[in-house]
Amino acid sequence: MSLVQVTDLTVEFGDLRAVDGLSFRLEQGAALALVGESGSGKSTVASALLGLHRGTGARVGGAIEVAGTDVQEASDDELRRLRGAKAAMVFQDPLSSLDPYYAIGDQIAEVYRVHTRVTRRAARARAVEVLDRVGIPDAQRRSRSRPHEFSGGMRQRALIAMALACEPELLIADEPTTALDVTVQAQILDLLHTLREETGMGLLLVTHDVGVAAESVDEVLVMRHGRVVEHGPVADVLETPTEAYTRELLAAVPPVDARRTTPGGLSEAVARDGGAVLPGASAEDVEAVSAEGGQAVSSVDGEVVASGAVSGDGGVVSAGASAEGGKAVVSGRGEAVAPGAAPGDSGTVSAGPDALAAQVGFSDASAEGGGAASPAAVTETARRVSSGASVDVVLEATGLRREFGRGKRAFAAVDDVSLTLNRGETLGIVGESGSGKTTLGRMLVGLLEPTAGEVRYEGHARVGVNPAVQMVFQDPVSSLNPRRSVGESIADPLRARGERDEKRIRGRVTELLERVGLDGAHYDRYPHEFSGGQRQRVGIARALAADPRVIVCDEPVSALDVTTQAQVVALLGELQRELGLALVFVAHDLAVVRQVSDRVAVMRSGRIVESGPADEVYDNPQDPYTRQLLAAVPALDPQVAARRRAARRELAAA
Amino acid sequence: MSGFAGFTLRRAVGAVVTLLAISVIVYVVFYATPGNVAQITCGPRCSPEQVHQVAQQLRLDDPLYLRYWHFLQGILVGQDYSTGTSVEHCSAPCLGLSYQSDQQVMQVILTKLPVSLSLVFGAMVLWLLLGVGTGVLSAWRRGRFTERALTGVTLAGVATPSFVIGLVLMIVVCGQLELLPFPEYVSFSDDPEQWMWNLLLPWLTLALSEAAYFARMTRASMLETLAEDHIRTFRAYGVGERSIVGRHALRGALAPIIALNANDFGAMVGGAVLTETLFGLPGIGQELVHAVNVVDLPVVVGMVLVIGFFVVLANAVADVLYAVADRRVVLT
């Protein structure tokens, strides 16, 4: 008998059909991942397995059998006996998923006592035992702590301990690592792996991250709009996906171990976008991509350009293209042809070798197809290089330090950080939460006053906010005022500059909206009417309104789905190319940073531990922390994932 | 709780500053208002000479800041008052003498305070039991008949003025059913049992309308807590509804209950005028209204200060309870 058997499952919330005719089966001890973007219905399925939709007004159809219990037909009592005892769930956000008022050991003991007739004392002992099992040091003492006294990773361990308490046959993990840093994520995934090896329990992993799935499961089920897109063994689905959507999803995942495609990783992302658009993408996707000016790249016979097709052959592309100045034939997998303009670096290479690193930036236009702007961009690049012989520094920070708190409680969030940003280049800043990267970004923009050190813009020290240095914020939902139309939000910098002519403001805002790929007529719409990706475009338009030379992007894509993420990254690259912007790209995602950055700085505890050209840092990391970070990134290839796991063990042992 | 001593100290200093501010404001507001205090105090038949004498006795000719300074001195070190023939000493926390009775204000307050505190304490116990109990019940039985019925009842409770409730209670319980005699205040030290029986109706009167507020708030914040993620966790682990509502949701709803209770307790000490008047309880509220009517300024100022003291105290206690209820709260 299968551990989980779902047949023709449908879940409806009012008029919305979140899950539509889904069937799958999970054998005892096996591991399956439900992979999909937000809104694909994957978490709804996970909740349905435990009958959590009962009494919420959702309509659940089809048959669900979990560990011998018919979830649809079971009485409330039978359902309670299933929950926690035979099938236990681990939730996404470990802070909000635990009761803030009770000690962690007490919460685990409470759950344990629901399913076993044991004394309080015995339940408490069991709690300590499972906490110890999931690697909480000094479990006896720590079991008396409340959730807020635990770090994010420890909280997730505690939730897993709660799941283990009754030795369930099935563990359902709903985005178990999404809220965690990459090194902690690796630890949690390794823990799940070990526990599964030891206890033989089945695992149903719900995740938006294909890499996380590749690390952890045997089988993958790709979901979209509540339906199965593709289902099969993990190696097959990830290596030879048969469905277009799966390919799109995979293509949108930036590889951390691949060199940034020469020249300009961002434009390659456009290519991937373009590729993704062709086969049956939703209307919104098409609109978004074409509005970006990136026509779909296709080969002569209409084959989609797969990711990596353009990559790895930068040299060939530029050589051929610079000679011709016309069509570039890309031979990554020998099947894709990119018609259109020359790659932007052709001029640069001959013009000024010194300036290469800075100028190459995102100047490539080849992947975009026949964008009219690209020849102009090439000339522009070439002109800039030949006229200004030396690299211009637009932004320079020296000895930046920022403390929070006073007296004994003071601590330095950023400590003695110096960096330079050249015209037109992208500087990536990576670090885990608490590393001080956001504080640094805010100081660069002038939103925060440094405790020590200074920020110089074009050689001049500045205090306060500088219109030429703008910011794009992480959370596109909360960084826009929900009560004001997006047009008004975008107009803010214009008004701040003293522009009073309403007609001119409206005109400029419309232009900006169109510039970032939105409809100019959306001036009067409100933020809630837009999707996450569109809202981030609004944020970018607002940053552009002040005609900046530098944009600091603080985690601009971390709240977005992978495919949307790729589109926004592409947009940033395109804007940089056309407007000659310098970007500071602050993010925790190592792969994204590699794909967009010319140079990278790795931050830890307020300091830059390593910096240099992106490929150098990633291919040959010098600092042990950088190595640890890189080893923690989940790999798309299950075999690579296994090797990384081994490497992590070594690093941990060392 | 290592920071507890520091917290108490900071709160005490804060309370003193608050009370000083209150005293300045009250003093200025009452003493600087137009109207011939000496004339009112002396009575309508006084001759101009007598009025003048009274004014001197009351130091009404001194500038306001000087009088305030004397007032502060009285509180800190006590003061001597001449009442025409004899000199009376008013010891340390001296709030002055009543214009009307020449009694020490502190004495006046101390005779009224036990009545008010008896009333409010007892009522508080009742309103917490009734209010929180009803709120928990509505949250547990949400969406069912019980909840709808309770919602109706509490809405009626909120909408009915306390004097109506009191009047109805008195007429029905004492008049028609003759279960209790018409209440008359008996002090706790004299006869605890009679104290309780006589205060039962005033307690109910004060508690019923107050309980309705607590019921509504408890229900609302419990429903809010029930929608939180950690509740979902315990559901997903098969924990029963009773435990989820009674243990987890109620705990989350405690903070607003504590805060509201502190506010109401402080306010009721001086603000239960209607109930006091209705049942003839000689409490602070009644006395304050009387003092305002006869422009007995020292009594008014003294009482406002004492009420302010209880509000500040109740809130400080609430902060401590807050920190006990929610360990994430750091006392500062």
- Give me the residue label for tokens 């799940």: A192
Res. A505 pLDDT band, cuts 50 70 90: very high
**Listed range (A21-25, A267-271, B147-151, B160-164) with the worst mean pLDDT:** A267-271
Residue B331 lies in a domain: no
Q: CA nearest B230 in A: which residue?
A: A97
User: Does residue B242 share a domain with residue B221?
Assistant: yes
Residues in B closer than 8 angstroms to A89, CB to CB, are: 233, 236-237
| A326-332, Cβ contacts within 8 angstroms, sequence gap of 24 or more | A328/A366, A330/A305, A330/A366, A332/A306, A332/A308
Task: For residues A179 and A196, give the distance between their C-alpha atoms in angstroms, rounded to a whole number.
Answer: 22
pLDDT at A391: 61
**CB neighbours of residue B69 within 10 Å:** 12
Please write the tens of the pLDDT for every residue from B183-204: 888 888 888 888 888 888 899 9
Residue B330 lies in a domain: no
Mean pLDDT of A98-119: 92
- Residue where a domain stops, chosen among B77, B100, B123: B100
Residue B332 lies in a domain: no
User: Does residue B132 share a domain with residue B180?
Assistant: yes
User: Does residue B221 share a domain with residue B140?
Assistant: yes
Is it the case that residue B58 has pLDDT exceeding 90? Answer: no
Report the residue from B230, B247, B251 with minimal CB separation from A97.
B230
Task: For residues B277 and B209, give the distance between their C-alpha atoms in angstroms, rounded to a whole number.
Answer: 17
H helix runs in A352-485, sequence order: 356-360, 373-387, 437-445
Residue B227 lies in a domain: yes
CB A458 within 8 A of CB A539: no
Between B40 and A557, residue with greater pLDDT: A557
Mean pLDDT of A198-207: 92
**What tokens appear for A485 in the block?**
């139309």
pLDDT at B83: 61
User: Does residue B111 share a domain with residue B91?
Assistant: no
| Domains contained in chain B, number | 2
Please write the tens of the pLDDT for every residue from A154-189: 898 899 999 999 989 999 999 888 878 888 888 889
User: Does residue B85 share a domain with residue B152?
Assistant: no
User: Does residue B52 share a domain with residue B124?
Assistant: no
Nearest one of A398, A414, A395 to A454, comparing CA atoms: A398
Say what the pTM is: 0.72
**What tokens appear for A487 in the block?**
């047009």
- Residue where a domain stops, chosen among B44, B78, B100: B100
Domain region containing B200: 106-325
H helix runs in A479-525, sequence order: 486-496, 502-515
- The Cα of B216 is separated from the nearest Cα of chain A by a number of Å equal to 23
Residues in A closer than 8 angstroms to B252, CB to CB, are: 100-101
Phi and psi for B222 in degrees, rounded to 5? -70, -40
Res. A260 pLDDT band, cuts 50 70 90: low
Residue B76 lies in a domain: yes
- The Cα of B261 is separated from the nearest Cα of chain A by a number of Å equal to 20
Q: CA nearest A89 in B: which residue?
A: B236
Task: For residues A108 and A606, give the distance between their C-alpha atoms in angstroms, rounded to a whole number.
Answer: 36
CB B313 within 8 A of CB B8: no
CA dihedral (A298, A299, A300, A303) positive or negative = negative
CB A589 within 8 A of CB A437: no
Contact A114 B238 (CB under 8 A): yes
User: Does residue B113 share a domain with residue B21?
Assistant: no
User: Does residue B277 share a domain with residue B158?
Assistant: yes
pLDDT at A347: 34
Residue B247 lies in a domain: yes
**What tokens appear for B318 in the block?**
């609430």
**β-bridge partners, A223:** A228
Mean pLDDT of A22-51: 91
User: Does residue B127 share a domain with residue B211?
Assistant: yes
CB B127 within 8 A of CB B209: no
Helix (H, G, I), strand (E, B) or coil at A226: coil
The side-by-side arrangement of strands in the sheet containing A550-554 is A469-472, A550-554, A582-587, A426-430, A599-604, A607-613
Res. B269 pLDDT band, cuts 50 70 90: confident
User: Does residue B81 share a domain with residue B110?
Assistant: no
Between A151 and A362, residue with greater pLDDT: A151
pLDDT at A654: 64
Is it the case that residue A285 has pLDDT exceeding 90? Answer: no
- The Cα of A200 is separated from the nearest Cα of chain B by a number of Å equal to 20
Report the residue from A101, A102, A162 with minimal CB separation from B237.
A162
Please write the tens of the pLDDT for every residue from B153-184: 888 888 888 888 888 988 888 888 878 777 88
Please write the tens of the pLDDT for every residue from A339-376: 333 333 333 333 333 333 333 333 333 333 333 344 44
Torsion angle of alpha carbons A365, A367, A371, A377, nearest 10°?
A: 0
- Residue where a domain stops, chosen among B70, B100, B130: B100
Is it the case that residue A496 has pLDDT exceeding 70? Answer: yes
CA dihedral (A237, A242, A245, A247) positive or negative = positive
H helix runs in A19-178, sequence order: 42-49, 76-82, 104-115, 120-133, 139-142, 152-164
User: Does residue B44 share a domain with residue B170?
Assistant: no
Residue B167 lies in a domain: yes
Is it the case that residue A300 has pLDDT exceeding 60? Answer: no
User: Does residue B203 share a domain with residue B155?
Assistant: yes
Task: For residues A261 and A248, give the distance between their C-alpha atoms in angstroms, rounded to a whole number.
Answer: 18
Q: Would you identify the CATH topology of the domain A4-86+172-251?
A: Rossmann fold (3.40.50)
CB contacts < 8 A (A, B)? 76
Q: Which residues contact A443 (CB under 8 A, 6 or more apart)?
A: A397, A400, A402, A414, A449, A450, A455
Is it the case that residue A492 has pLDDT exceeding 80? Answer: yes
- Rounded to the nearest 10 degrees, the angle between the axes of helix B284-293 and helix B250-271 is 40
Here the CATH number for the domain that contains residue B203 is 1.10.3720.10
Mean pLDDT of A11-22: 90
Please write the tens of the pLDDT for every residue from A371-424: 334 444 444 444 444 444 346 889 999 999 998 887 777 888 899 999 999 988
Task: For residues B257 and A493, give the distance between their C-alpha atoms in angstroms, rounded to a whole number.
Answer: 44
Residues in B closer than 8 angstroms to A84, CB to CB, are: 236-239
pLDDT at A251: 84
Task: For residues A266 and A261, give the distance between their C-alpha atoms in angstroms, rounded to a whole number.
Answer: 8
